[in-house]
Amino acid sequence: MKTLLLCFLTLVPMFAKEEIHKEFKASRIGTANALETSAKFLELWQALRRPPPETVGEPERLVIIQALGPKGGFHLYTAKGKAGTIAVLLVDPELLETRGVDVVLVEDGVCDLTTVMGAAKRYQQFKQVIAKENPAAPDKEEFVRNLKDGRVYEIRLLEPGACASCFGKGVLGALRGRKPCPDCKGKGQAMVTWDVSW
């Protein structure tokens, strides 16, 4: 009994960290009862075009305070982040105030602003990092052609609701104390490796 319990205890974390593999057969798109959809196919191809997230950096959560309009091809906001209140240049022009956004940031000098009360204030400025497309990845026609030729692609996607430790809820079950899930940091998402073939 003791051995059995030990086995169980060591198996739980091992199981939780195991990579999730799923299969996508592109030829099934459009057939009856197929789980393969053209939207997912597009998402997988786009993921192939993007560089892996680990080369881009860890996203950080920002809470938008104020939108200040366009600046240098970006949109300037004040926001609360890890470094306190900052000025930040983001790609998205329509973020609602106080909405939380997850973005990868780099330091980008300072920004002088005038507060609503008319006081001059200097903020540390950050800029959103935009992932460039991977030039080595195939375009869509080439991707389809390669699949038809029998090539299998392994494509990794960070998917909402895929965390096997908390079943996507972000919180552990009653038996594990209803704590925020340590594996997905409460986000419910997990990396899924798709084996894409024709």
* Residue 141 CB, nearest approach to Zn ion (Å): 38
Element (H, E) at 43: helix 38-49
21 versus 179: smaller Cβ distance to Zn ion: 179
Residue 84 and residue 62 in contact, taking contact as beta carbons nearer than 8 Å:
no
Residues 142-181 that bind Zn ion (CB under 5 A): 163, 165-166, 181
Amino acid at 108: D
For 140-147, the CB contacts below 8 A with 24+ separation are: 140/45, 143/45, 143/48, 144/26, 147/26, 147/196, 147/197, 147/198
Nearer to Zn ion, 48 or 181 (CB): 181
Phi and psi of 130, rounded to 5°?
A: -105, 125
Cβ at position 161, least distance to Zn ion in Å: 10
Q: Least separation, in Å, of the C-beta of 148 and Zn ion?
A: 37
Closest CB to Zn ion among 95 and 162? 162
The reply to whether 90 sits near Zn ion by the rule CB under 5 A is: no
By C-beta, is 51 or 186 nearer to Zn ion? 186
In this structure, what are the phi and psi dihedrals at residue 103, rounded to the nearest 5 degrees?
Answer: -140, 155
Q: How many residues bind Zn ion (CB under 5 A)?
A: 6
Residues near Zn ion (CB under 5 A) are 163, 165-166, 181, 183-184
